[in-house]
A = this chain, B = another copy of it.
Amino acid sequence: MKIYFAIDVGGTTIKYGIFDEKKNLIDKFFKKTIYYNKNAERQTLNDILSGIEEWCSEKKISLKDIVGIGIAVPGPVADNEVKTLVNINWKHKYDVVSNIKNRFGSKVKVIIANDANAALYGEYIKTLKGKYKNVCFITLGTGIGGGILLNGKLLEGKTGVCGELGHIIVDKSENAMECNCGNKGCLETIASGVGIVNVYKNLYLSDKSNDDEIGICGRKVKVNELNAKLIIDAAKENDEKAFKVLDIAFEYLANLMVDLVYVIEPDVFLIGGGISNGGNIILDIIKKHFVGKNKLTKKQPKIMLAKLKNDAGIYGAFALVANS
C-alpha cells in the first residue's frame, strides 16, 4: 500500500493525517509540539519525522511505501522553503526538504506550505470541490491569517507574505491598538479572538481591573476570563453590547474585503478559524457591511464559512503533495 503523510505543525500539537492513494484519510494522530531553545529547527523536524517512523513501525508499513509528505507550518513559506516560524522558535534558514529526502529517500515528494494556505487548499479541494478557482480565505482565530488562491494556484509571494491579511492596517486613528507585529491598528487587533475582546474592553470595561467580575451571557466572569466565544454567545442571545462589538469588528473586516475585490476579485471569500464557529451571526454581520459597496461591479463574490475546521490543514497538505 502506498501512503501519504499530511502533517499540520502547530504551536501546541503536531497533527498527522495518513492518506492512501485513493485520497482516503486512513488514520490520524497527534503529537505534542515541544518548544526548543537551541537548534529548534533540527530538533522539531526530528520530532515531526520520528512520528512518521513510529506510526509506520507500529502499523508494520515499510517507510518505502511513503509516496509523499506534505507539511503545513505556522509561518511564511515561499518556493517550498520555510522562512521563519516564530511560534516554534525557528529563527534560521533550514533546508527541510533535503533533510526529509536524506531520511526517507530522494524519491519521496515533499511539499511545505504555510498553514493558512494549506487549509485554504484543503477547503478548495474538499468543500468547494475545485468549483471556484479564485478564493480569498480569512481565518479568524486567536490571530488572523489568510490565503489567496488564484486560478486554482496558491499565491505565496517572494517572501511568503501574500495573504497575511491580519496585518493590514485598518484602524489609522491615533488610539489604534498595538499589534504583535510592531504596527498599530492591524485587522488582527480588532477582528480576531483577541481583537474582539479588546474592542469589548475598550468600549465597556476601561474602568475595570482584571480581577473585577462582570456579567455576560447570564454568567459572572472575571474581566481577564472574558473571551470571544462568550461575546459571540452573548450576541446570539441578543445582548446589545456584545452585538455592537461584533458589528464594529466585522465592519472592519467587511471593509477590507470590499478593498480586496478591487485587487484580486475573488469568486468566494471563505471565513474560517475558531471565531467562524460562531456561524451565521458572523456571516450576517459581514454581509451587511460588504454587500453593495463595490460600485464598479454588479457581481458580488460569495461569502461562505469554511467547513473542514481543524482538519483543513491536513487535507490541504495532502492535496498539495498528491497534486505536485
| A157 and B265 contact, CB distance less than 8 A | yes
Task: Tell me whether A264 and B157 are in contact in the complex, defined as CB-CB below 8 angstroms, given that A76-B296, A296-B181 are known contacts.
Answer: yes
A56 at interface by CB-CB < 8 Å? no
Within 8 A of B (CB), among A138-192: 148, 150, 155-165, 167-169, 172, 181-183
Inter-chain contact B260/A161, CB cutoff 8 Å: no
Q: How many copies does the complex hold?
A: 2
Q: How many angstroms between the C-alpha atoms of A3 and B134 in the bound complex?
A: 36
Nearest CB in chain B to that of A266: its residue:
B157
CB-CB under 8 A for A298 and B183, given A148-B263, A263-B263: no
- Judge whether A159 and B265 touch: CB under 8 Å: yes
Interface of A is mostly: loop
CB nearest to A267 among chain B residues? B158
| A46-76 CB contacts (< 8 Å) to partner B | 76
Question: A167 contacts B262, CB within 8 Å?
Answer: yes
B contact residues around A134 at 8 Å (CB): 157-158
Q: A299 vs B161: C-alpha distance in the bound complex, in angstroms?
A: 10
A159 lies within 8 A of B264 (CB): no
- The chain A residues found within 8 Å of chain B, CB to CB, are 76, 134, 148, 150, 155-165, 167-169, 172, 181-183, 255, 258-265, 267, 293-299
